[in-house]
Amino acid sequence: MTDTAATSRLPFALPRLGIGTAPLGGLFEEVGEQDAAATLKAATEAGITYFDTAPRYGHGLAEQRLGRLLPPSGGSGPVISTKTGWLLRPRPDGSPGEVITDWTERGIRESLESSLTRLGRSSVDILYLHDPDEYPDEIRRTAYPAVRKLRDEGLIRAIGFGMNHSGPLASYVAKFEVDVVLIAGRFSLLDHEALTTLLPLCAEVGTAVVVGGVFNTGLLADPSPGAMFNYRPVPAETLERAQQCRALCEAYEVPLPAAAIQFPLLHTAVNSVVLGCRSAAEVTANAAAARFPIPGELWQRLAEAEFVPEQLLERRGE
């Protein structure tokens, strides 16, 4: 790998901060329509113009809410990414049913067309193949060629992969021409997994990177007993590490969420961070944290405590 970044394959600029809509689909707890509307209104008022969604978020509910509550698409409209590879199968009464994998060209197209209907749009900016960890043969034979065809037809502007594990994601970036990837939970103050292979590779070939899960399911937003870490109850030693990280930040009067949100952007390959929000208050707090000034000395202290890889600071000239 070289340290020189290639020209980006993404044909447009991504905002540095975006909203992930899994909470608006009811992840962990239901969000009412009024709260969903207030959340998206707060995001637009805060100048946030990137929204990531997926059919699996609330069995289409998150996409439907974006379609109802966001401004219409257009030259100044928001950037929207959604995902494919899974089809929603409602019950006869219309209520949510099962979700099935389908990596065929027909399935990929049906998934996107259904998403566009829910979103009320004729196209989206990014289409991610969603969690294809165990389907490399299907991706090679049918799914990747299908999303390329959809891009050629103008139904999407960019194609990528969205996953929770950086190793398989890196293998897809190495095999295919990938405009953008979304890696969730594997590049945070507590988890540097994506740094070993994925991020250097993306920098080398020009694949844009979106990072989600920067709080590791909430722990780095509020490291207290009972917090979740990567969708599970936090182990005692991990909780202790998160509390140590918070104490270092507090010594410089920096909120821990501010460091957690801004950390991934220290890497030159990272274009954007997406944050799951379920209320207007969360949007407002996260937007403020993303802008909070962080002194170079704090980044150095965090590096000394192994929360930040030293190589990131060397690139910044700190």
Distance CA 32, CA 279 (A): 10
Give the start-end residues of each E strand in the chain. Answer: 17-20, 50-52, 79-84, 86-89, 98-101, 124-130, 156-163, 180-184, 208-212, 228-229, 232-233, 270-276
pLDDT band at 77 (very low <50, low <70, confident <90, very high): confident
What pLDDT score was predicted for residue 70? Answer: 87
Helices (H), 70-126: 105-119
pLDDT band at 23 (very low <50, low <70, confident <90, very high): very high
Per domain, the residue ranges of the chain are: 17-316
The verdict on whether 231 is a catalytic residue reads no
Neighbours of 131 (CB within 10 A): 20
Q: Looking up tokens 């020189």, which residue turns up?
A: 4
Please write the tens of the pLDDT for every residue from 124-178: 999 999 999 999 999 999 999 999 999 999 999 999 999 999 999 999 999 999 9
pLDDT band at 91 (very low <50, low <70, confident <90, very high): confident
Q: Looking up tokens 């049913």, which residue turns up?
A: 97
CB 143 within 8 A of CB 108: yes
Give the list of residues 6+ apart from residue 175 with CB closer than 8 angstroms, or none: 140
Catalytic hit among 57, 128, 144, 172: 57
- Model confidence at 3: pLDDT above 50: no
Please state the φ and ψ torsions of residue 81, each to the nearest 5 degrees: -120, 140
pLDDT band at 4 (very low <50, low <70, confident <90, very high): very low
| β-sheet bridge partners, residue 182 | 162, 210
Neighbours of 316 (CB within 10 A): 12
The CATH number given to 17-316 is: 3.20.20.100
What pLDDT score was predicted for residue 94? Answer: 74
* Mean local confidence (pLDDT), 201-224: 97
How close are the terminal C-alpha atoms of the chain, in Å?
A: 23
Return the amino acid letter for 83: K
- Whole-model pTM: value is 0.95
